[in-house]
Amino acid sequence: MIDYEVNVFDRVYRKVAPMCAKGKFVSVYVPDPTAFPAGSLMELTNRTVRKRQSSTPIENFAVVMYQLDIYAKTKAEARSVLNAADDEMISMGFTRVGGDYLDNSDNVNIFRYTARYEAEIDREGNIYRIS
């Protein structure tokens, strides 16, 4: 399986973690962050690209989708963290396929921004934009 989640997360983490509360930028879903700003970046989908498969017994390309969630007390705070994360994702070669202020369903006083990114990754970890 083509798995570069750690590399992608690590690159965004280095940029974004200092802007978040201590230890609150993570790669798993945390339902109860105890401090803000907080965020998560997770690989939600990882599929083999069928048309790029050959007869060799390896996976050549995978299409991956990441979801970025930012939680903050103010919109400005959420936006600054989001911009830092987004710049890093775009510079890696991802395409933002969606981005919205979604309600934080249980506590609407917390700003929540959700964005999704997709790209194709080859076996060596090179990232390609999906046309």
Partner 1 sequence: MGKIIFKEIKMTLDPESIQHAIDDVRNLNTDLQMALDALCESLLKDGVMIARLNLRRYFTKGDGANKGNLLRSIRYEMANGKSGEGYLMAGYPNDHMSDNPLYSNVSYAVFFEFGFGTSNHYRQDGSRINSSKAYNVLKSQGLVARSEGRTSDHPSKKGKYRPSKEYKMIENAQGGQFRGWVYKDRWTGKFYTVRGGQPPKPFMYNTLLDLMDKAQRNGADIIAEYLPGGGAY
End-to-end CA distance of the chain: 23
Question: Which residue, 118 or 122, is less far from partner 1 as judged by CB?
Answer: 118
What H or E segment, with its residue span, contains residue 5? helix 5-16
Does 36 participate in binding partner 1 (rule CB under 8 A)?
Answer: yes
Which residues 41-100 are close enough to bind partner 1 by CB under 8 A? 42, 44-45, 47, 50-51, 63, 65, 67, 69, 71, 73, 100
Give the span between the Cα atoms of 109 and 86, in whole angstroms. Answer: 23
Does 112 participate in binding partner 1 (rule CB under 8 A)?
Answer: yes
Does 116 participate in binding partner 1 (rule CB under 8 A)?
Answer: yes
CB of 35 to partner 1, least distance (A): 6
Does 29 participate in binding partner 1 (rule CB under 8 A)?
Answer: yes
What does R_g of the chain's alpha carbons equal in angstroms?
16
Nearest Cα neighbor of 62 from 44, 50, 49, 51 is 49
Nearest Cα neighbor of 36 from 76, 64, 83, 2 is 76
How many beta carbons lie within 10 A of that of residue 99, not counting itself?
14
Does 22 participate in binding partner 1 (rule CB under 8 A)?
Answer: no
CB of 56 to partner 1, least distance (A): 20
Q: Which residues bind partner 1 (CB under 8 A)?
A: 29-36, 38, 42, 44-45, 47, 50-51, 63, 65, 67, 69, 71, 73, 100, 102-110, 112, 114, 116
